[in-house]
Amino acid sequence: MTATLWLYVILVAIIALVIGFFAGRFSRKPCATTEQLTQDLEQALQNHERYQQQVQEHFVQSAEVLQHLNQSYQHFCEHMMHSSSGLIKSEELHQQLFQNTPRLEKQAEDEQAPRDYSGESSGLLR
pTM of the model: 0.44
CA distance linking residue 14 with residue 101, whole number of Å = 94
94 touches 88 (CB < 8 A): yes
Q: Which domain holds residue 46?
A: 7-96
Does a structural domain hold residue 112? no
Looking at per-residue pLDDT, the higher value among 14 and 126 belongs to: 14
User: For 101-111, how does the pLDDT look when each residue is reduced to its tens digit (9 = 90+)?
Assistant: 655 555 555 56
Q: What is the pLDDT of residue 26?
A: 75
- Mean pLDDT over each residue of the chain, to the nearest integer: 79
CA distance linking residue 80 with residue 16, whole number of Å = 96
81 touches 101 (CB < 8 A): yes
Q: How far is CA 50 from CA 36, 71, 115, in A?
A: 21, 32, 44
CA distance linking residue 12 with residue 18, whole number of Å = 10
CA distance linking residue 43 with residue 49, whole number of Å = 10
User: For 42-54, how does the pLDDT look when each residue is reduced to its tens digit (9 = 90+)?
Assistant: 999 999 999 999 9
Q: How many domains does the chain have?
A: 1
Does a structural domain hold residue 41? yes
pLDDT surpasses 90 at 60: yes
